[in-house]
Chain A
Amino acid sequence: MTPAAEIHTITLTVNGERITRSVAARMHLVDFLREQLDLTGSHLGCEHGVCGACTVQVDGVAVRGCLMLAVQADSATIVTVEGLTDSGVLADVQEAFLQRNALQCGFCTPGMLTTIAELLTVNPDPSRDAIRDAISGNYCRCTGYHAIVDAVQNAVAARRTKEAAE
Chain B
Amino acid sequence: MSVADQMKGLTFLDRPNSYIGRSVPRPNAKRLVQGRGTYVDDLRMPRLVHVAFLRSPHAHARIRGLDISAAKAAPGVIMVATGADIARVCTPWVGVLTHFKGLKSAPQYPVAIERACWAGEAICAVVANSRAEAEDAVALIEADLEPLPVTVDMETALDPGTPVIHADLGDNLAFERTLDVGDVDGAFRHAAAVVENTFSVGRHTGVTLEPRSIVADWNEGEEKLTVYHSFQAPHMMQDIVCKHLGLPEASVRVVCKDVGGSFGIKVHIYPDEMATVALAKMLKRPVKFVADRLESFVSDIHARDHRVKAKMAVSKDGEILGFEIDDLTGIGPYSVYPRTSAVEANQVVNLTGGPYKHQNYRARARVVFQNKVPMCQYRAVGHPIAVMVTEGLVDQAAHAIGMDPAELRRRNLIRDDAHPSTAASGIKFEKLSHQQSLEKLLTMMDYDGLRKEQAELRAKGIHRGIGLAAFIEITNPSAAFYGVGGARISSQDGCTLRLNPQGGVIASIGVTEQGQGTEGVIAQVVATAVGVPMSDVRVVTGDTDATPYGGGTWACRAAGIGGEAAWQSGKALRANILDVAAVILQSTPEVLDLREGKIVDKATGVERMPLAELGRVAYFRPDTLPADLKPEFVVTRHYVPKDYPFAFTNGMQASYLEVDTDTGFVKLLKHWCVEDCGTVLNPQLVDEQIRGGIVQGIGAALFEHCRYDAQGQMLNGSMADYLVPMSSEMPDMDVGHVVTPTASSELGAKGAGEAGTAGAPAAVINAINDALRPFNAHVCVQPARPEEILRALGKV
Contacts and interface: CB of A to CB of B under 8 A. Distances in A.
A82 B258 contact: no
A100 B259 CA distance: 20
Contact of A144 (B206, B208, B260, B692): B692
A46 B692 CA distance: 20
Nearest to B130: A35
A156 interface: no
B209 A85 contact: no
B726 A139 contact: yes
A140 to B, nearest CB: 7
Interface stretch (A6-14, A70-78, A128-136): A128-136
Interface string B682-721: 0011001001111110000000000000000000001110
A100 B153 CA distance: 45
Interface string B415-429: 000000000000000
Interface in A80-129: 80-82, 85, 94, 97-101, 103-110, 113, 128-129
Question: Which of the four size classes fits the interface of chain A?
Answer: 35 or more
A146 interface: yes
A51 interface: yes
B35 A136 contact: no
B293 A46 contact: yes
Contact of A140 (B206, B209, B694, B719): B209
Given A132-B727, A141-B263, A106 B33 contact: yes
B728 A113 contact: no
A107 B39 contact: yes
Contacts of A108: 209
B376 to A, nearest CB: 18
A143 B29 contact: no
Contacts of A101: 23, 25-26, 29, 517, 684-685, 688
A48 B728 contact: no
Interface string B203-220: 000111111000000000
Given A45-B293, A146-B733, A103 B727 contact: no
B742 to A, nearest CB: 24
- B contact residues, range: 35 or more
B214 to A, nearest CB: 15
B88 to A, nearest CB: 32
A97 B724 CA distance: 22
Nearest to A104: B515
B210 A45 contact: yes
Contact of A85 (B25, B26, B34, B720): B34
B292 A98 contact: no
B573 to A, nearest CB: 28
Contact of B728 (A41, A104, A133): A133
Nearest to A5: B75
Interface string A24-53: 101000000010001111111111111101
Nearest to A149: B727
A26 B132 contact: yes
B460 interface: no
Interface string B658-696: 000000000000000000000000001100100111111
B209 A139 contact: yes
Nearest to A129: B728
B727 A110 contact: no
Determine the main DSSP class of A at the interface with B.
loop
Nearest to B726: A136
A142 interface: yes
Contact of A80 (B35, B44, B261, B691): B35
A58 interface: no
Contacts of B132: 24, 26
B732 interface: yes
B132 to A, nearest CB: 7
B222 to A, nearest CB: 26
A98 B29 contact: yes
A63 B12 CA distance: 49
A148 interface: yes
Contacts of B730: 132, 144-146
Contacts of B725: 144-145
Nearest to B38: A40
Given A26-B132, A45-B210, A103 B263 contact: no
B33 A145 contact: no
Nearest to A42: B35
Contacts of A113: 33
Contacts of A68: none
Given A105-B209, A105-B514, A146-B733, A135 B33 contact: no
B209 A107 contact: yes
A138 B688 CA distance: 18
A69 interface: no
A97 B725 CA distance: 20
A61 interface: no
A145 B756 CA distance: 14
A85 B29 contact: no
B8 interface: no
9 contacts: A41-B34, A47-B293, A81-B34, A97-B33, A109-B33, A141-B692, A142-B261, A143-B691, A144-B688
Interface of B: 23, 25-26, 29-30, 32-39, 41-42, 44, 132, 206-211, 258-263, 292-293, 514-517, 684-685, 688, 691-696, 718-720, 724-730, 732-733, 756
Interface of A: 24, 26, 34, 38-51, 53, 80-82, 85, 94, 97-101, 103-110, 113, 128-129, 131-133, 135-149
Given A137-B726, A143-B695, 11 more contacts: A40-B42, A42-B35, A48-B718, A98-B29, A98-B30, A105-B208, A131-B727, A136-B727, A141-B261, A144-B696, A146-B732
Across the A-B interface, give the 9 residue pairs with the lowest CB-CB distance, nearest first. Answer: A41-B35, A106-B32, A105-B515, A107-B260, A104-B515, A144-B695, A81-B35, A40-B42, A50-B719
